């Protein structure tokens, strides 16, 4: 009986000893695992960049197309092993093209998500409200890279030091439009502008450009940022028509600009109408073509749009050829549940701009320390890009005193319902 009682105790001891041994082995393995994974070539953590953009609302096409162009290039890069062995990932958040959500998104991206940098934000009213946060986060070395806005506020002190811009400014776009219209003999220029920081920036650009010719605005009218394609622009059309304009420059979003063009043509206003790059000419033209009634007015005639990227039809440019190939293979829609329904364009100027942003972003990452990159490494990496061949026929240049790399302005018009490059302005001469 005695030995029978001792046997279970010995068995329990052996079990306990086995448990302790197993625990010790597990602890040892956990200690050695990181080194073992590193030795086995475990990839480093990805670099995540935060993006706040409109993925909902009447202007969602801007954010979605921008995102699609970005993902087309980065998906390709990541499939090839990333940059310096690291994947580059985008964390998109929706702001609906409204300032308050953009502010909340930025705080979340920096404080909670700990993104490496902010990237490809969309819109002047949103970016302008985020700029004070960049100054607030300066000790954390937060940078905004390549936003989709041409406003001056983030190109000048005190906020310009936190932002790097790839695209030309609205002053450059509006100056180019004014120069070409005046050269064509059209001196009575009117402006339709969105009543916010974006619209006022463009309005000011047109006004300043006219002063170089000792000219003044022939007329002006504003509209609310929330206006979509279902809005009635009759009041704005009547105001501008009364000024007898020889050309109208619009500073707005694609849905609102399309609504204005529709109502202007229906009212018999025949003057050429121009838009800037942020108007997203591809989506604007799509709406105008959809609105045309059988046998009715062609809303796409006498349109000209300034662009900050070359035509996506110019496949002779290496970057454009690569863009078209990768868009067809890799372009992604935003994550499920983030965006409202939207029919994407196969190609567009907005997605091409996003694509070029991603190309430059990958090069910036490549120029940072491979083993252990930090946020504070970003400025030096960006500013090392001098005479960089982006594949669009003009070199890219940054420096500590130059936070905008490109200045080129391109023009498009509509032929047969398709946006095509505009190089000959003689058709705009005369009345």
- Give per-residue pLDDT as tens, 316-328: 999 999 999 999 9
User: 388: closest CA among 372, 374, 373, 402?
Assistant: 402
What percentage of the chain exceeds 90 in pLDDT?
A: 85
CB 150 within 8 A of CB 168: yes
Q: Is 170 exposed, middle or buried (0-12, 13-18, 19+ CB in 10 A)?
A: buried
What is the per-residue DSSP string for 250-264? EES-HHHHHHHHHHH
**What SS3 class is residue 236?**
helix
Confidence grade of residue 208 (pLDDT, cut at 50, 70, 90): very high
pLDDT at 21: 33
Q: Edge-to-edge strand order for the sheet containing 219-223?
A: 219-223, 189-194, 247-251, 273-275, 303-307, 410-415, 418-421
pLDDT at 41: 63
Give the CATH H-level superfamily of domain 170-307+412-428.
Answer: Response regulator (3.40.50.2300)
The residue-averaged pLDDT of 387-393 equals 96
Does residue 40 carry a pLDDT above 60? no
Confidence grade of residue 422 (pLDDT, cut at 50, 70, 90): very high
Kindly state the DSSP code that residue 367 receives in the 8-state scheme: T
**E strand map for 273-431:** 273-275, 303-307, 388-389, 395-396, 410-415, 418-421
**What SS3 class is residue 212?**
coil
pLDDT tens digits, residue range 249-285?
999 999 999 999 999 999 999 999 999 999 999 999 9
Does residue 28 carry a pLDDT above 50? no
Confidence grade of residue 36 (pLDDT, cut at 50, 70, 90): very low
Chain-wide mean pLDDT for the chain?
90
Does residue 3 carry a pLDDT above 50? no
Domains 47-168+312-400 and 170-307+412-428 alike in fold: yes
Does residue 235 carry a pLDDT above 60? yes
- Give domain limits for the chain: 47-168+312-400, 170-307+412-428
pLDDT at 429: 79
Bridge partners for 194 per DSSP: 223
Does residue 198 carry a pLDDT above 60? yes
Domain 47-168+312-400, architecture per CATH = 3-Layer(aba) Sandwich (3.40)
Does residue 222 carry a pLDDT above 80? yes
């Amino acid at each position: 009986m005695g030995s029978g009682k001792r046997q279970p105790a010995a068995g329990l001891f052996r079990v306990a000893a086995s448990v302790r041994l197993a625990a010790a082995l597990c602890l040892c393995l956990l200690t050695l695992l990181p080194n073992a994974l590193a030795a086995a070539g475990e990839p480093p953590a990805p670099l995540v960049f935060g993006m706040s953009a409109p993925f909902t609302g009447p202007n969602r096409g801007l954010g979605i197309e921008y995102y699609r162009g970005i993902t087309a290039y980065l998906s390709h890069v990541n499939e090839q092993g990333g940059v310096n062995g690291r994947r580059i990932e985008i964390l998109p958040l929706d702001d609906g093209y409204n300032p308050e959500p953009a502010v909340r998104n930025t705080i979340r991206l920096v404080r909670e998500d700990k993104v490496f940098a902010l990237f490809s934000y969309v819109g002047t009213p949103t970016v302008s409200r985020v700029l004070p946060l960049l100054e607030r986060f300066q000790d954390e070395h937060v940078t905004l890279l390549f936003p989709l806005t041409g406003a001056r506020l983030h190109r000048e002190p005190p906020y310009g030091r936190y932002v790097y811009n790839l695209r030309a400014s609205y002053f450059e776009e509006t100056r180019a439009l004014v120069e070409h219209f005046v050269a064509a003999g059209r001196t009575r220029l009117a402006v339709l502008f969105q009543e916010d920081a974006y619209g006022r920036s463009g309005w000011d650009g047109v006004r300043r450009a006219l002063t170089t010719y000792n000219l003044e605005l022939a007329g002006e009218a504003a509209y609310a940022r929330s206006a979509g394609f279902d809005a009635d622009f009759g009041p704005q059309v009547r105001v501008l028509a009364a000024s007898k304009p020889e050309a109208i420059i619009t500073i707005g979003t694609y849905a609102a600009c399309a609504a204005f063009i529709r109502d202007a043509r229906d009212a018999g206003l025949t003057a050429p109408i121009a838009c800037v790059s942020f108007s997203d000419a591809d989506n604007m033209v799509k709406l105008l073509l959809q609105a045309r009634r059988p046998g009715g007015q062609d809303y796409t005639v006498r349109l000209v749009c300034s662009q900050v990227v070359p035509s996506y039809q110019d496949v002779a440019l290496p970057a454009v050829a690569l863009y078209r190939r990768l868009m067809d293979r890799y372009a992604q829609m935003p994550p499920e549940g983030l965006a409202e329904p939207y029919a994407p364009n196969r190609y567009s100027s907005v997605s091409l701009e996003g694509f070029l942003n991603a190309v430059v972003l990958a090069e910036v990452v490549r120029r940072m320390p491979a083993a252990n990159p930090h946020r504070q490494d970003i400025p030096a990496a960006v500013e090392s890009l001098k005479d960089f061949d982006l594949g669009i026929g003009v070199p890219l240049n940054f420096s500590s005193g130059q936070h905008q790399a490109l200045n080129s302005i391109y023009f498009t018009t509509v032929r047969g319902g398709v946006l095509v490059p505009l190089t000959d302005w003689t058709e705009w001469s005369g009345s």
